[in-house]
Structure 1
Amino acid sequence: MDLATILGLVAGTTVVLIAILLGGNLGGFVDIPSVLIVIGGGFAATLMRFPLAGVGRALATGGKVAFMARTIEPRDVILKLSEMADLVRKSGPIALEGVSFDDQNLARGAQYIADGYDVVFIKDAMELARDRYLGRLAEGQRVFKSLGDAAPAFGMIGTIVGLVQMLSNMEDPSKIGPAMAIALLTTLYGAVVANVICLPIADKLSAKLDVEEVNQTLIIDGIMQVKAGSSAAVVRERLHAYLPDHQKQLPEAA
Protein backbone atom coordinates (compact mmCIF):
# COMPACT_ATOMS: atom_id res chain seq x y z
CA MET A 1 0.00 0.00 0.00
CA ASP A 2 1.41 3.37 -1.06
CA LEU A 3 0.81 5.63 1.95
CA ALA A 4 1.94 8.78 0.12
CA THR A 5 -0.78 8.42 -2.52
CA ILE A 6 -3.49 7.85 0.06
CA LEU A 7 -2.34 10.76 2.22
CA GLY A 8 -2.14 13.08 -0.77
CA LEU A 9 -5.57 12.08 -2.08
CA VAL A 10 -7.20 12.39 1.34
CA ALA A 11 -5.49 15.71 2.06
CA GLY A 12 -6.41 17.20 -1.32
CA THR A 13 -10.03 16.07 -1.07
CA THR A 14 -10.30 17.27 2.52
CA VAL A 15 -8.99 20.74 1.69
CA VAL A 16 -11.55 21.14 -1.09
CA LEU A 17 -14.41 19.84 1.08
CA ILE A 18 -13.49 22.11 3.98
CA ALA A 19 -13.41 25.11 1.66
CA ILE A 20 -16.85 24.17 0.33
CA LEU A 21 -18.41 23.55 3.75
CA LEU A 22 -17.03 26.77 5.21
CA GLY A 23 -18.74 28.78 2.50
CA GLY A 24 -22.03 26.92 2.12
CA ASN A 25 -23.43 23.41 1.72
CA LEU A 26 -22.10 20.45 -0.22
CA GLY A 27 -25.32 19.96 -2.19
CA GLY A 28 -24.81 23.22 -4.02
CA PHE A 29 -21.59 21.85 -5.52
CA VAL A 30 -23.14 18.69 -6.96
CA ASP A 31 -24.23 18.95 -10.57
CA ILE A 32 -24.71 15.83 -12.73
CA PRO A 33 -24.44 17.58 -16.14
CA SER A 34 -21.11 19.04 -15.07
CA VAL A 35 -19.88 15.58 -14.05
CA LEU A 36 -20.96 14.14 -17.38
CA ILE A 37 -19.18 16.84 -19.34
CA VAL A 38 -15.88 16.54 -17.46
CA ILE A 39 -15.69 12.78 -16.83
CA GLY A 40 -17.45 11.64 -19.98
CA GLY A 41 -15.73 14.16 -22.21
CA GLY A 42 -12.32 13.44 -20.73
CA PHE A 43 -12.67 9.69 -21.28
CA ALA A 44 -14.04 10.23 -24.77
CA ALA A 45 -11.04 12.35 -25.75
CA THR A 46 -8.66 9.79 -24.24
CA LEU A 47 -10.32 6.92 -26.08
CA MET A 48 -9.74 8.78 -29.33
CA ARG A 49 -6.02 9.04 -28.55
CA PHE A 50 -5.38 5.45 -27.42
CA PRO A 51 -6.68 1.95 -28.18
CA LEU A 52 -9.49 0.76 -25.92
CA ALA A 53 -7.38 -2.10 -24.56
CA GLY A 54 -4.55 0.33 -23.85
CA VAL A 55 -6.81 2.60 -21.81
CA GLY A 56 -8.03 -0.36 -19.76
CA ARG A 57 -4.47 -1.54 -19.10
CA ALA A 58 -3.38 1.97 -18.21
CA LEU A 59 -6.15 2.43 -15.66
CA ALA A 60 -5.30 -0.89 -14.04
CA THR A 61 -1.56 -0.10 -14.05
CA GLY A 62 -2.11 3.40 -12.68
CA GLY A 63 -4.29 2.16 -9.86
CA LYS A 64 -1.85 -0.59 -8.96
CA VAL A 65 1.20 1.66 -8.99
CA ALA A 66 -0.49 4.58 -7.23
CA PHE A 67 -2.12 2.64 -4.42
CA MET A 68 -0.53 -0.79 -4.08
CA ALA A 69 2.92 -0.95 -5.66
CA ARG A 70 5.97 -1.17 -3.43
CA THR A 71 9.28 -0.02 -4.85
CA ILE A 72 12.15 -2.44 -4.31
CA GLU A 73 15.33 -0.68 -3.26
CA PRO A 74 18.39 -1.33 -5.48
CA ARG A 75 20.40 -1.99 -2.32
CA ASP A 76 18.08 -4.86 -1.37
CA VAL A 77 18.19 -6.27 -4.90
CA ILE A 78 22.00 -6.32 -4.89
CA LEU A 79 22.10 -8.06 -1.53
CA LYS A 80 19.61 -10.65 -2.80
CA LEU A 81 21.67 -11.24 -5.92
CA SER A 82 24.85 -11.63 -3.90
CA GLU A 83 23.09 -14.21 -1.72
CA MET A 84 21.99 -16.03 -4.88
CA ALA A 85 25.55 -16.02 -6.19
CA ASP A 86 26.83 -17.48 -2.94
CA LEU A 87 24.09 -20.13 -2.94
CA VAL A 88 24.81 -21.18 -6.52
CA ARG A 89 28.54 -21.50 -5.85
CA LYS A 90 27.91 -23.61 -2.75
CA SER A 91 24.93 -25.75 -3.76
CA GLY A 92 24.54 -25.41 -7.52
CA PRO A 93 21.90 -23.69 -9.67
CA ILE A 94 19.12 -26.06 -8.61
CA ALA A 95 19.26 -24.55 -5.10
CA LEU A 96 17.58 -21.39 -6.44
CA GLU A 97 14.28 -23.25 -6.79
CA GLY A 98 13.71 -22.98 -3.06
CA VAL A 99 14.30 -19.21 -2.84
CA SER A 100 11.43 -16.69 -2.73
CA PHE A 101 11.60 -13.35 -4.57
CA ASP A 102 9.67 -10.07 -4.38
CA ASP A 103 10.31 -9.12 -8.01
CA GLN A 104 8.82 -11.17 -10.85
CA ASN A 105 11.73 -10.65 -13.21
CA LEU A 106 14.22 -11.62 -10.53
CA ALA A 107 12.21 -14.77 -9.85
CA ARG A 108 12.07 -15.45 -13.58
CA GLY A 109 15.84 -15.12 -13.92
CA ALA A 110 16.47 -17.41 -10.94
CA GLN A 111 14.17 -20.03 -12.44
CA TYR A 112 15.96 -19.81 -15.78
CA ILE A 113 19.28 -20.42 -14.04
CA ALA A 114 17.84 -23.32 -12.06
CA ASP A 115 16.43 -24.83 -15.27
CA GLY A 116 19.82 -24.61 -16.99
CA TYR A 117 19.01 -22.20 -19.83
CA ASP A 118 21.95 -20.61 -21.63
CA VAL A 119 23.07 -17.01 -21.12
CA VAL A 120 21.74 -15.70 -24.43
CA PHE A 121 18.23 -17.05 -23.83
CA ILE A 122 18.13 -15.75 -20.26
CA LYS A 123 19.26 -12.26 -21.23
CA ASP A 124 16.90 -12.01 -24.20
CA ALA A 125 13.90 -13.27 -22.23
CA MET A 126 14.54 -11.00 -19.27
CA GLU A 127 15.14 -7.94 -21.44
CA LEU A 128 11.88 -8.64 -23.26
CA ALA A 129 10.02 -8.92 -19.94
CA ARG A 130 11.65 -5.70 -18.72
CA ASP A 131 10.77 -3.79 -21.88
CA ARG A 132 7.15 -4.95 -21.80
CA TYR A 133 6.84 -3.95 -18.13
CA LEU A 134 8.36 -0.53 -18.75
CA GLY A 135 6.12 -0.16 -21.79
CA ARG A 136 3.03 -0.70 -19.61
CA LEU A 137 4.23 1.96 -17.19
CA ALA A 138 4.91 4.41 -20.02
CA GLU A 139 1.50 3.70 -21.56
CA GLY A 140 -0.19 4.29 -18.21
CA GLN A 141 1.67 7.56 -17.75
CA ARG A 142 0.57 8.80 -21.17
CA VAL A 143 -3.08 7.86 -20.60
CA PHE A 144 -3.32 9.54 -17.20
CA LYS A 145 -1.51 12.59 -18.58
CA SER A 146 -4.09 12.68 -21.37
CA LEU A 147 -6.94 12.47 -18.85
CA GLY A 148 -5.32 15.22 -16.81
CA ASP A 149 -5.05 17.45 -19.87
CA ALA A 150 -8.58 16.71 -21.08
CA ALA A 151 -10.42 17.28 -17.79
CA PRO A 152 -9.73 21.06 -17.50
CA ALA A 153 -10.36 21.47 -21.22
CA PHE A 154 -13.81 19.91 -20.91
CA GLY A 155 -14.33 21.97 -17.78
CA MET A 156 -13.85 25.04 -19.94
CA ILE A 157 -16.20 23.58 -22.57
CA GLY A 158 -18.80 23.08 -19.85
CA THR A 159 -18.31 26.65 -18.71
CA ILE A 160 -18.97 27.92 -22.22
CA VAL A 161 -22.05 25.68 -22.52
CA GLY A 162 -23.40 26.98 -19.23
CA LEU A 163 -22.80 30.60 -20.17
CA VAL A 164 -24.52 30.15 -23.52
CA GLN A 165 -27.51 28.53 -21.80
CA MET A 166 -27.63 31.30 -19.23
CA LEU A 167 -27.43 34.10 -21.77
CA SER A 168 -30.05 32.51 -24.00
CA ASN A 169 -32.54 32.28 -21.11
CA MET A 170 -32.08 35.60 -19.38
CA GLU A 171 -35.84 36.21 -19.56
CA ASP A 172 -36.46 33.09 -17.40
CA PRO A 173 -34.82 33.56 -13.97
CA SER A 174 -35.48 29.92 -13.02
CA LYS A 175 -33.02 28.72 -15.67
CA ILE A 176 -30.22 31.10 -14.83
CA GLY A 177 -29.16 29.24 -11.67
CA PRO A 178 -28.77 25.75 -13.23
CA ALA A 179 -26.97 27.21 -16.23
CA MET A 180 -24.59 29.14 -14.00
CA ALA A 181 -23.97 25.99 -11.96
CA ILE A 182 -22.85 24.14 -15.10
CA ALA A 183 -20.73 27.12 -16.11
CA LEU A 184 -18.83 27.24 -12.82
CA LEU A 185 -18.86 23.66 -11.56
CA THR A 186 -17.46 22.11 -14.73
CA THR A 187 -14.35 24.27 -14.34
CA LEU A 188 -14.08 23.20 -10.70
CA TYR A 189 -14.57 19.51 -11.50
CA GLY A 190 -12.04 19.64 -14.33
CA ALA A 191 -9.40 21.24 -12.12
CA VAL A 192 -10.00 18.80 -9.25
CA VAL A 193 -9.97 15.69 -11.46
CA ALA A 194 -6.80 16.81 -13.20
CA ASN A 195 -4.79 18.07 -10.23
CA VAL A 196 -5.94 15.74 -7.45
CA ILE A 197 -6.18 12.48 -9.38
CA CYS A 198 -4.93 12.22 -12.98
CA LEU A 199 -1.76 14.33 -13.11
CA PRO A 200 -0.39 13.10 -9.74
CA ILE A 201 -0.87 9.49 -10.87
CA ALA A 202 0.79 10.31 -14.21
CA ASP A 203 3.77 11.78 -12.35
CA LYS A 204 3.92 8.75 -10.04
CA LEU A 205 3.96 6.43 -13.05
CA SER A 206 6.74 8.52 -14.61
CA ALA A 207 8.80 8.30 -11.42
CA LYS A 208 8.11 4.56 -11.18
CA LEU A 209 9.27 4.16 -14.78
CA ASP A 210 12.61 5.83 -14.02
CA VAL A 211 13.18 3.72 -10.91
CA GLU A 212 12.15 0.44 -12.51
CA GLU A 213 14.30 1.02 -15.58
CA VAL A 214 17.35 1.07 -13.30
CA ASN A 215 16.13 -1.78 -11.08
CA GLN A 216 15.28 -4.12 -13.96
CA THR A 217 18.56 -3.48 -15.73
CA LEU A 218 20.35 -4.10 -12.44
CA ILE A 219 18.50 -7.40 -12.05
CA ILE A 220 19.42 -8.56 -15.55
CA ASP A 221 23.08 -7.66 -15.03
CA GLY A 222 23.06 -9.42 -11.66
CA ILE A 223 21.43 -12.57 -13.05
CA MET A 224 24.11 -12.69 -15.74
CA GLN A 225 26.77 -12.57 -13.01
CA VAL A 226 25.07 -15.32 -11.03
CA LYS A 227 24.77 -17.46 -14.17
CA ALA A 228 28.49 -16.92 -14.85
CA GLY A 229 29.32 -18.26 -11.38
CA SER A 230 30.68 -14.99 -9.99
CA SER A 231 31.27 -14.73 -6.26
CA ALA A 232 29.04 -12.66 -3.99
CA ALA A 233 31.80 -10.07 -3.62
CA VAL A 234 32.17 -9.72 -7.40
CA VAL A 235 28.40 -9.37 -7.81
CA ARG A 236 28.25 -6.59 -5.21
CA GLU A 237 31.20 -4.79 -6.76
CA ARG A 238 29.83 -5.10 -10.30
CA LEU A 239 26.38 -3.79 -9.32
CA HIS A 240 27.64 -1.06 -6.99
CA ALA A 241 27.33 1.58 -9.74
CA TYR A 242 23.55 1.15 -9.85
CA LEU A 243 23.13 2.45 -6.32
CA PRO A 244 22.08 6.02 -5.59
CA ASP A 245 24.72 8.05 -3.74
CA HIS A 246 23.08 7.70 -0.33
CA GLN A 247 23.22 3.89 -0.59
CA LYS A 248 26.79 3.44 -1.80
CA GLN A 249 27.87 1.71 1.42
CA LEU A 250 26.71 -1.86 1.14
CA PRO A 251 27.00 -4.16 4.16
CA GLU A 252 28.62 -7.48 3.66
CA ALA A 253 26.23 -10.34 2.88
CA ALA A 254 25.69 -12.76 5.75
Structure 2
Amino acid sequence: MKTLKVQVSEDRVHVQLNRPDARNAIDDVMVAELHAMCVDLEQDPRILILSGSSAPDRAVFAAGADIGRLVERTRDDALRGINSQLFTRIAGLPMPVIAAMDGYALGGGAELAFAADFRIATPRTTIGNPETGLGILAAAGATWRLVELVGEPIAKELLLAGRVLDAAEALALHLVTELHEPDQLIDAANSLADRIARLDPLATRLTKKVIHAPRGAHPFIDELAQSVLFEAPAKQDRMRAFLDKKKGA
Protein backbone atom coordinates (compact mmCIF):
# COMPACT_ATOMS: atom_id res chain seq x y z
CA MET A 1 0.00 0.00 0.00
CA LYS A 2 1.37 3.40 -1.01
CA THR A 3 -1.27 5.61 0.60
CA LEU A 4 -2.54 3.49 3.49
CA LYS A 5 -1.11 1.94 6.64
CA VAL A 6 -3.01 -1.21 7.54
CA GLN A 7 -3.14 -3.16 10.79
CA VAL A 8 -5.10 -6.42 10.72
CA SER A 9 -6.32 -8.40 13.70
CA GLU A 10 -8.82 -11.19 14.14
CA ASP A 11 -11.96 -9.07 14.35
CA ARG A 12 -10.95 -5.67 12.97
CA VAL A 13 -8.82 -3.79 10.47
CA HIS A 14 -7.32 -0.36 11.19
CA VAL A 15 -6.70 1.62 8.00
CA GLN A 16 -4.74 4.84 8.38
CA LEU A 17 -4.86 7.29 5.48
CA ASN A 18 -1.19 7.98 4.86
CA ARG A 19 -0.50 10.95 2.61
CA PRO A 20 0.49 13.39 5.37
CA ASP A 21 2.38 15.76 3.07
CA ALA A 22 -0.82 16.13 1.04
CA ARG A 23 -2.99 16.28 4.18
CA ASN A 24 -4.32 12.81 3.33
CA ALA A 25 -6.03 14.15 0.22
CA ILE A 26 -7.91 11.35 -1.50
CA ASP A 27 -6.23 10.68 -4.86
CA ASP A 28 -6.72 7.92 -7.43
CA VAL A 29 -4.17 5.65 -5.78
CA MET A 30 -5.87 5.93 -2.39
CA VAL A 31 -9.25 5.25 -4.00
CA ALA A 32 -7.88 2.09 -5.62
CA GLU A 33 -6.26 0.93 -2.38
CA LEU A 34 -9.42 1.55 -0.36
CA HIS A 35 -11.38 -0.47 -2.93
CA ALA A 36 -8.86 -3.28 -2.43
CA MET A 37 -9.46 -3.10 1.34
CA CYS A 38 -13.21 -3.31 0.70
CA VAL A 39 -12.72 -6.50 -1.30
CA ASP A 40 -10.99 -8.08 1.70
CA LEU A 41 -13.63 -6.85 4.16
CA GLU A 42 -16.49 -8.05 1.98
CA GLN A 43 -14.95 -11.51 1.74
CA ASP A 44 -13.82 -11.67 5.37
CA PRO A 45 -16.12 -9.30 7.32
CA ARG A 46 -14.42 -7.39 10.14
CA ILE A 47 -14.87 -4.06 11.87
CA LEU A 48 -13.11 -1.23 10.03
CA ILE A 49 -11.42 1.68 11.82
CA LEU A 50 -10.45 4.63 9.60
CA SER A 51 -8.04 7.30 10.80
CA GLY A 52 -5.59 9.80 9.35
CA SER A 53 -1.86 10.50 9.53
CA SER A 54 -1.01 13.96 10.83
CA ALA A 55 0.38 16.44 8.34
CA PRO A 56 3.71 18.11 9.12
CA ASP A 57 2.03 21.36 10.13
CA ARG A 58 -1.32 20.23 11.57
CA ALA A 59 -3.56 17.35 12.56
CA VAL A 60 -5.70 16.03 9.73
CA PHE A 61 -8.11 13.18 9.10
CA ALA A 62 -8.50 13.93 5.41
CA ALA A 63 -8.55 17.25 3.62
CA GLY A 64 -10.73 16.06 0.79
CA ALA A 65 -9.93 15.25 -2.80
CA ASP A 66 -6.55 16.13 -4.27
CA ILE A 67 -7.27 19.52 -5.88
CA GLY A 68 -4.26 19.14 -8.15
CA ARG A 69 -5.92 16.07 -9.65
CA LEU A 70 -9.47 17.35 -9.31
CA VAL A 71 -8.85 20.43 -11.45
CA GLU A 72 -8.13 18.14 -14.41
CA ARG A 73 -11.26 16.01 -14.05
CA THR A 74 -13.94 16.29 -16.69
CA ARG A 75 -17.68 15.67 -17.03
CA ASP A 76 -17.02 12.01 -17.76
CA ASP A 77 -14.96 11.69 -14.57
CA ALA A 78 -17.84 13.19 -12.57
CA LEU A 79 -20.27 10.71 -14.09
CA ARG A 80 -17.99 7.83 -13.08
CA GLY A 81 -18.62 8.74 -9.43
CA ILE A 82 -15.04 8.00 -8.38
CA ASN A 83 -15.42 8.96 -4.71
CA SER A 84 -19.16 8.40 -4.39
CA GLN A 85 -18.87 4.79 -5.56
CA LEU A 86 -16.07 4.15 -3.06
CA PHE A 87 -17.89 5.76 -0.13
CA THR A 88 -21.08 3.86 -0.95
CA ARG A 89 -19.05 0.66 -0.89
CA ILE A 90 -17.49 1.57 2.47
CA ALA A 91 -20.92 2.42 3.90
CA GLY A 92 -22.19 -0.95 2.72
CA LEU A 93 -19.45 -3.07 4.29
CA PRO A 94 -20.89 -6.00 6.26
CA MET A 95 -19.51 -4.98 9.66
CA PRO A 96 -19.56 -1.50 11.25
CA VAL A 97 -17.14 1.22 10.17
CA ILE A 98 -15.63 3.64 12.71
CA ALA A 99 -14.16 6.97 11.57
CA ALA A 100 -11.64 8.23 14.15
CA MET A 101 -11.08 11.88 13.24
CA ASP A 102 -8.33 14.17 14.46
CA GLY A 103 -8.01 17.60 12.90
CA TYR A 104 -9.41 18.61 9.54
CA ALA A 105 -12.15 16.50 7.92
CA LEU A 106 -13.03 18.58 4.91
CA GLY A 107 -14.66 18.01 1.54
CA GLY A 108 -14.22 14.40 0.49
CA GLY A 109 -12.64 13.68 3.87
CA ALA A 110 -15.87 14.73 5.58
CA GLU A 111 -17.88 12.67 3.12
CA LEU A 112 -15.73 9.63 3.90
CA ALA A 113 -16.54 10.12 7.58
CA PHE A 114 -20.25 10.52 6.81
CA ALA A 115 -20.17 7.06 5.20
CA ALA A 116 -19.03 5.49 8.48
CA ASP A 117 -21.42 4.01 11.02
CA PHE A 118 -19.67 5.74 13.94
CA ARG A 119 -17.70 8.98 14.10
CA ILE A 120 -15.49 9.81 17.05
CA ALA A 121 -13.16 12.78 17.17
CA THR A 122 -10.72 14.95 19.10
CA PRO A 123 -11.41 18.48 20.41
CA ARG A 124 -9.38 19.95 17.53
CA THR A 125 -11.45 18.28 14.81
CA THR A 126 -13.24 20.49 12.29
CA ILE A 127 -15.76 19.26 9.71
CA GLY A 128 -16.93 21.04 6.60
CA ASN A 129 -17.77 20.88 2.91
CA PRO A 130 -16.27 23.89 1.11
CA GLU A 131 -16.89 22.52 -2.40
CA THR A 132 -19.13 25.36 -3.63
CA GLY A 133 -16.24 27.75 -3.01
CA LEU A 134 -14.30 25.75 -5.61
CA GLY A 135 -17.11 25.83 -8.14
CA ILE A 136 -18.30 22.26 -7.55
CA LEU A 137 -20.63 20.46 -5.15
CA ALA A 138 -20.15 17.80 -2.50
CA ALA A 139 -21.14 14.93 -4.79
CA ALA A 140 -19.83 11.95 -2.81
CA GLY A 141 -22.72 11.64 -0.37
CA ALA A 142 -22.83 14.84 1.70
CA THR A 143 -25.97 16.20 0.01
CA TRP A 144 -28.03 13.29 1.36
CA ARG A 145 -25.99 11.57 4.09
CA LEU A 146 -25.41 14.84 5.94
CA VAL A 147 -29.12 15.67 5.73
CA GLU A 148 -29.90 12.27 7.28
CA LEU A 149 -27.28 12.76 10.01
CA VAL A 150 -27.93 16.33 11.17
CA GLY A 151 -31.09 17.48 9.39
CA GLU A 152 -31.64 19.77 6.43
CA PRO A 153 -31.14 23.19 8.11
CA ILE A 154 -27.65 22.37 9.44
CA ALA A 155 -26.71 20.49 6.27
CA LYS A 156 -27.60 23.56 4.21
CA GLU A 157 -25.40 25.73 6.42
CA LEU A 158 -22.43 23.49 5.62
CA LEU A 159 -23.22 22.83 1.98
CA LEU A 160 -24.64 26.20 0.89
CA ALA A 161 -23.10 28.72 3.28
CA GLY A 162 -19.67 27.26 3.99
CA ARG A 163 -20.15 26.69 7.72
CA VAL A 164 -17.42 24.60 9.33
CA LEU A 165 -18.28 22.71 12.52
CA ASP A 166 -15.85 22.53 15.39
CA ALA A 167 -15.72 19.41 17.54
CA ALA A 168 -18.07 20.71 20.25
CA GLU A 169 -20.70 21.66 17.64
CA ALA A 170 -20.37 18.28 15.93
CA LEU A 171 -20.83 16.54 19.29
CA ALA A 172 -23.89 18.62 20.15
CA LEU A 173 -25.41 17.72 16.79
CA HIS A 174 -24.57 14.01 17.31
CA LEU A 175 -22.56 14.04 14.11
CA VAL A 176 -19.80 12.67 16.32
CA THR A 177 -20.63 10.63 19.40
CA GLU A 178 -17.43 10.89 21.46
CA LEU A 179 -14.54 13.32 21.92
CA HIS A 180 -11.12 12.13 23.08
CA GLU A 181 -7.68 13.66 23.36
CA PRO A 182 -5.52 12.96 20.31
CA ASP A 183 -3.27 10.46 22.08
CA GLN A 184 -6.33 8.51 23.23
CA LEU A 185 -8.32 8.52 19.99
CA ILE A 186 -7.23 5.17 18.56
CA ASP A 187 -7.59 3.49 21.96
CA ALA A 188 -11.14 4.85 22.07
CA ALA A 189 -11.83 3.52 18.57
CA ASN A 190 -10.56 0.12 19.63
CA SER A 191 -12.67 0.26 22.78
CA LEU A 192 -15.75 0.88 20.63
CA ALA A 193 -14.68 -1.96 18.34
CA ASP A 194 -14.32 -4.19 21.42
CA ARG A 195 -17.93 -3.45 22.37
CA ILE A 196 -19.10 -4.35 18.88
CA ALA A 197 -16.94 -7.48 18.75
CA ARG A 198 -18.53 -8.85 21.92
CA LEU A 199 -21.89 -9.02 20.14
CA ASP A 200 -22.96 -11.73 17.73
CA PRO A 201 -21.36 -10.95 14.33
CA LEU A 202 -24.26 -12.28 12.25
CA ALA A 203 -26.81 -10.32 14.30
CA THR A 204 -24.66 -7.21 13.90
CA ARG A 205 -24.34 -7.68 10.14
CA LEU A 206 -28.05 -8.24 9.62
CA THR A 207 -28.99 -5.34 11.89
CA LYS A 208 -26.78 -3.03 9.82
CA LYS A 209 -28.46 -4.23 6.62
CA VAL A 210 -31.92 -3.69 8.09
CA ILE A 211 -31.02 -0.18 9.28
CA HIS A 212 -29.91 0.78 5.77
CA ALA A 213 -32.83 -0.86 3.97
CA PRO A 214 -35.30 1.43 2.16
CA ARG A 215 -38.27 2.42 4.30
CA GLY A 216 -40.65 0.53 2.05
CA ALA A 217 -38.83 -2.72 2.83
CA HIS A 218 -39.94 -2.60 6.49
CA PRO A 219 -41.27 -4.50 8.37
CA PHE A 220 -40.79 -7.43 6.00
CA ILE A 221 -37.00 -7.19 5.97
CA ASP A 222 -36.91 -6.99 9.79
CA GLU A 223 -38.96 -10.16 10.06
CA LEU A 224 -36.92 -11.94 7.40
CA ALA A 225 -33.63 -11.10 9.11
CA GLN A 226 -35.06 -12.18 12.46
CA SER A 227 -36.16 -15.51 10.98
CA VAL A 228 -32.56 -16.17 9.92
CA LEU A 229 -31.24 -15.30 13.37
CA PHE A 230 -33.86 -17.42 15.13
CA GLU A 231 -32.41 -20.48 13.35
CA ALA A 232 -28.75 -19.57 13.92
CA PRO A 233 -26.76 -21.50 16.57
CA ALA A 234 -25.62 -18.28 18.24
CA LYS A 235 -29.17 -17.47 19.31
CA GLN A 236 -29.47 -20.71 21.26
CA ASP A 237 -25.96 -20.45 22.72
CA ARG A 238 -26.23 -16.81 23.79
CA MET A 239 -29.77 -17.07 25.18
CA ARG A 240 -29.01 -20.23 27.13
CA ALA A 241 -25.87 -18.64 28.54
CA PHE A 242 -27.95 -15.62 29.58
CA LEU A 243 -30.58 -17.83 31.27
CA ASP A 244 -27.92 -19.93 33.01
CA LYS A 245 -26.23 -16.80 34.33
CA LYS A 246 -29.54 -15.40 35.51
CA LYS A 247 -30.40 -18.71 37.20
CA GLY A 248 -27.00 -18.75 38.91
CA ALA A 249 -27.46 -15.20 40.15
- TM-score normalised by structure 1 residue count: 0.27
More helix by share: 1
Structure whose CA Rg is larger: 1
- TM-score normalised by structure 2 residue count: 0.27
More strand by share: 2
